[in-house]
Amino acid sequence: MERNVRLNYILKNYFQDISDYKISTFGSGLIHRTFFLQHSKGNFILQKINHHVFKNPEIVMQNIQRVGDFLLEKKYPKEVLKILPTLDGKLLLHSNEDEYWRCFYFINDTQYFSKAISKKQVYDTGKNFGEFLFFLKDFPIEWITPSIPNFHNPSFRLQQLENAIPKNLVNRVHKASNEIKKIKDFQPIIDHWETLKFPTRVVHADPKINNLLFDNNENVVAVIDWDTIMPGNILFDFGDLVRTMACTENEESTDFYKVKIDIEFYQNLKIGFLEMTNDWLTDLEKEHLELGVTMIIIEQAIRFLTDFINGDIYYKTTYSSQNLDRAKNQLALLFSFQEIVSS
């Protein structure tokens, strides 16, 4: 990101002196624009929030602040995200261009991984997200507001797909007919899920290895990306860990026949997660861990497919059929998981 008048305006809201700084793009996130900022006051992460996805950025920042304060009070043993407020004390900058910017203190001497490279990393990921949820298990639900209503709601996501099909905004439905049929075949499972009365808990809602920071010895230092922390179903957190961690190919792979669940990774992930959650999860939750995995993969396939039909308005793409390919990838992963649990 090159230095310009607009960037100077943004930084002047955070620092009195902006005569000397360095800034560069950072990370591989699909939603926000993220930058690494080096300033005389320290290192920071500067982000422009995608307010088309997070329609109320003030709620996002309020949630993050409250969760951080709670974790500090509970003596959570990992690093806690620390917001750098603007010079006038606000958690968020709403710019003249109707953009929303925020700044976090950078957690130094850390690294992140896009994919697990060992069984230990898989186990550690399950354990550390389980630990994060353990320290939030007594967080008052009424203190937090969903940053994206119905974020994990398979019935709602399926209805979005049903609404998108007849509109056919960019004339793509015919290209997705096979995937639409496969997803509609899961309607009975989604209906059954809706009958189960799971407790509402504070969840991360986007758990994956690249939302962990590791030190140079590959020990977990921090759980990051708290934008989607909200009241929800903890089984979606476990399911999303499996979806992103125990797969042989990532969700961008178009080698669909190679997309499978790695049984060893799945088992290590489950052991790590339950090590921190088994004593306080309800019997209903523990009995339906596998169904949680199934539901999150179905939901993600639906979301990719809906975005493809709507013209790629949510997920960034680099080619026209990428969201359709992502949906195919998730369906392949789902069928692999079903084979494992039924054997």
How high is the pLDDT of residue 104?
97
pTM: 0.92
Rg (CA), the chain: 20
Residue-wise pLDDT for 2-49, tens only, equals 457 778 889 999 999 888 888 888 876 667 889 999 999 999 999 999
The angle, 0 to 180 degrees and rounded to 10, between the axes of the packed helices 177-184 and 322-342 is: 40
Average model confidence (pLDDT) across the chain: 94
Q: Which of 28-32, 80-84, 222-226, 333-337 has the lowest mean pLDDT?
A: 28-32
Q: Which residue has the higher pLDDT, 335 or 314?
A: 335
Given a cut of 70, is residue 304 above it in pLDDT?
A: yes
How high is the pLDDT of residue 30?
64
Residues 6+ apart with CB under 8 A from 19: none
Q: Which residue has the higher pLDDT, 22 or 79?
A: 79
How high is the pLDDT of residue 2?
46
How high is the pLDDT of residue 29?
66
Q: Which domains, ranges and CATH numbers included, belong to the chain? A: 5-105 (3.30.200.20), 119-342 (3.90.1200.10)
Banded pLDDT at 1 (limits 50, 70, 90): very low
Residue-wise pLDDT for 134-178, tens only, equals 999 999 999 999 999 999 999 999 999 999 999 999 999 999 999
Query: Look-up: residue for tokens 């997803």?
Result: 183
How high is the pLDDT of residue 343?
72
How high is the pLDDT of residue 28?
64
Measured distance CA(98)–CA(100) in Å, rounded:
7
Nearest-10 Cα torsion for 59, 62, 66, 67: 60
Q: Are strands 212-214 and 93-94 parallel, antiparallel or unpaired?
A: unpaired
Q: 24-52: buried (b, 16+ CB within 10 Å) or exposed (e) per residue?
A: eebbeeebbbebbbebeeeebbbbbbbee
